[in-house]
Amino acid sequence: MKQQQLHVGILGATGMVGQQYIHLLENHPWFTVTFLAASERSAGKTFADAVAGRWHAQGDMPQKIRNMRVHTVDDIRAAKESCSFVFSALDSEIAKIYESQYARAGIPVVSNASAHRQDPDVPMLIPEINADHIAIIPLQQRQRGWNKGFIAVKPNCSLQSYLTPLYALHQKYRVKQVIVSTMQAVSGAGHPGVASLDIIDNVVPFINGEEEKTEQEPLKIWGQIEGNAIIPSQGICIAAHCNRVPTLNGHLACVSVSFANKPTKEEIISAWKSFRGMPQELKLPMAPEHPIIYRDEPDRPQVRLDRDADKGMATTVGRLRECPVLDWRFVGLSHNTIRGAAGGGILNAELLVAKGFIL
């Protein structure tokens, strides 16, 4: 698919997710970064000065970004002059204030923050699962009196490690109950995040708000548009335990699941291996070739070995075995700042461009 280059902005450009956007967009075939915004702490500085000593993305900071000036996030006029849409990697409280102001000003917002995830007229996208939810956008614009602008979000990073593998099975076998324990990397808490003295040699069995998001967001993603709202799916019950562990990147999930029609092991593996979604059909640049990678070694997936699979955009699953309590259990893994954050946001934007919502 041939696409004209679009100018894009990044709100929260200096944070863990913002830096990952900058890294992933360096040679993007459709998007060029032309606007950066962050807090008063960074505003007015060059990007290199603003993140001095805290560049955490892979490789070196891209040369053409180093000298770009960081704006305050309320400089919406400058954003409007320089870009077609923005990625938002703002803290959620700040996102709540500014994302709708950008949308009202005619700038589409593709967000990582939780601020608008539960708004019934805002699509919360994993494009392999619910690309069709973008059909709510014209209703969102009409209800809010917005013209060109809108908000589309991606879900919490914790559920990316297991939701697509469950969805691949749900289509035919209907998932009923899920018990999931996540082991989440420190980068998931942003920078500076969890103090080293709290996490080295430790596991913290609490991440504020994470279990609620892990249990509720999948229901909206599996929901349907009815009237002018996305109605969450009924009849699936999820229980989550979310833990912070001393890994850098990559959220691991141990999952037990029951089904209305219990599949065989071979049927599960075949459903995972053959699963493809809209991003693969459209050949979007950020789409993984195989959204789900099944590994049959007894000790995979492992965080360090598998988090970067297919550009960090695939979910790797393994350790599939019968569960004596529910039907089946497995381990899933995805990269939290790529698939779970910036890479997922870029994939959402590519879908929105391909479907004509961002021009």
For binding to ligand NAP (CB under 6 A), which residues are involved?
A: 12-18, 38-39, 41-42, 73, 89-92, 94-95, 112-114, 157, 187-188, 190-191, 336-337, 340-341
Q: Which is nearer to ligand NAP, 33 or 268 (CB)?
A: 33
Minimum CB distance to ligand NAP, residue 18 (Å):
5
Q: Which is nearer to ligand NAP, 100 or 112 (CB)?
A: 112
> How would DSSP label each residue in 302-321?
-HHHHTTHHHHTSEEEEEEE
Q: Which is nearer to ligand NAP, 149 or 345 (CB)?
A: 345
Look up residue 81 and give its two tokens. Answer: 């002059």
Look up residue 168 and give its two tokens. Answer: 């691949």
Residue 21, burial from CB neighbour count under 10 angstroms (0-12, 13-18, 19+): buried
Helix (H, G, I), strand (E, B) or coil at 11: strand
User: From CA 359, how far away is CA 355, in angstroms rounded?
Assistant: 10
Q: Which is nearer to ligand NAP, 12 or 312 (CB)?
A: 12
- Please check whether residue 218 is in contact with residue 236, taking contact to mean a CB–CB distance below 8 angstroms: yes
157, 170, 242, 335: the active-site residue: 157
Among candidate residues 306, 304, 308, the one with its CA nearest the CA of residue 296 = 306
Catalytic residue at 157?
Answer: yes
> How would DSSP label each residue in 229-253?
EEEPP-S-EEEEEEEE-S-SS-EEE
Catalytic residue at 251?
Answer: yes
In the β-sheet with 109-111, what is the strand arrangement from edge to edge? 70-72, 31-38, 6-11, 85-88, 109-111, 151-153
Q: Which is nearer to ligand NAP, 193 or 263 (CB)?
A: 193
28, 133, 170, 251: the active-site residue: 251
Go through the chain and tell me how many residues it has.
359
Nearest residue to the partner ligand NAP, using Cβ: 15
Give the residue numbers marked as catalytic: 157, 251
